[in-house]
Amino acid sequence: MTSPSPPDTGGGTADEPLWLTAAEKEAWTGLVSLVLLLPGRLESPLQREAGLTLFEYLALSHISETPERRLRMSELAYLANGSLSRLSNVVKRFEQRGWVERFPDPDDGRFTIAALTDAGYEVVVAAAPTHVRAVRQLVLDPLTAADQRALARIAAKLRTRPVDLA
């Protein structure tokens, strides 16, 4: 993504993109490595110790942190970083295991609520220490407090949220 020749300081044109500088490329490749590699590293201990994917753990965890352990499926898909169809398949398996129940949103029947059962809550509580250890080891412990604040600020600036959840 860097220019084959030194970037034009005058900016890109409709035909020619504004190529990345060396510093921009370093920032971009650093972000890409985090986005692509970190989830697998966070998932490995969850798979090994709890039999859950990172997506499954995040889905259960996000429901567990809400009042009454209930959340709209559309909001949960966003929070767990997955499509509604992917989440539907996962929640169907959760229902079969007795971990989650689904029902129409009483406030707006166009939406579906996912509710964590007591059995589902036990699963997420048992898996949480494994996840927290991995988060500390892979993300938080290598950073200073200032780095952690900077990471939070950067994440907030780059965060995207679907219009219907804004």
Taking only the tens place, the pLDDT of each residue in 56-101 is 999 999 999 998 999 999 999 999 989 999 999 999 999 999 999 9
Evaluate if residue 133 carries a pLDDT over 60.
Answer: yes
On whether the CB atoms of residues 111 and 73 are closer than 8 A, the answer is: yes
d(C-alpha 4, C-alpha 52), whole Å = 44
pLDDT tens by residue, 89-114? 999 999 999 999 999 999 998 999 99
Which residue, among 101, 79, 83, has the nearest Cα to 92 in the 3D structure?
A: 101
The CA R_g of the chain, rounded to the nearest whole Å, is: 20
How far is it, in rounded angstroms, from Cα 91 to Cα 82?
12
Decide if pLDDT at 166 tops 60.
no
* Residue range 128-138: mean pLDDT, rounded: 98
Question: Encoding tokens for residue 79?
Answer: 């929070």
What pLDDT does 161 receive? 63
Identify the CA nearest to 113 among candidates 77, 81, 86. Answer: 77
Q: What is the pLDDT of residue 117?
A: 98
* Predicted TM-score (pTM) of this structure: 0.83
The C-alpha torsion from 24 through 25 and 31 to 34, rounded to 10°, is -150
Q: Two tokens at 5?
A: 């020749």
Q: What is the average pLDDT across 135-162?
A: 91
| Residues written for the chain | 166
CA distance 25 to 19: 9
To the nearest whole number, what is the mean pLDDT of the chain? 90
Torsion (CA) 65, 149, 42, 78 in degrees, nearest 10 = 50
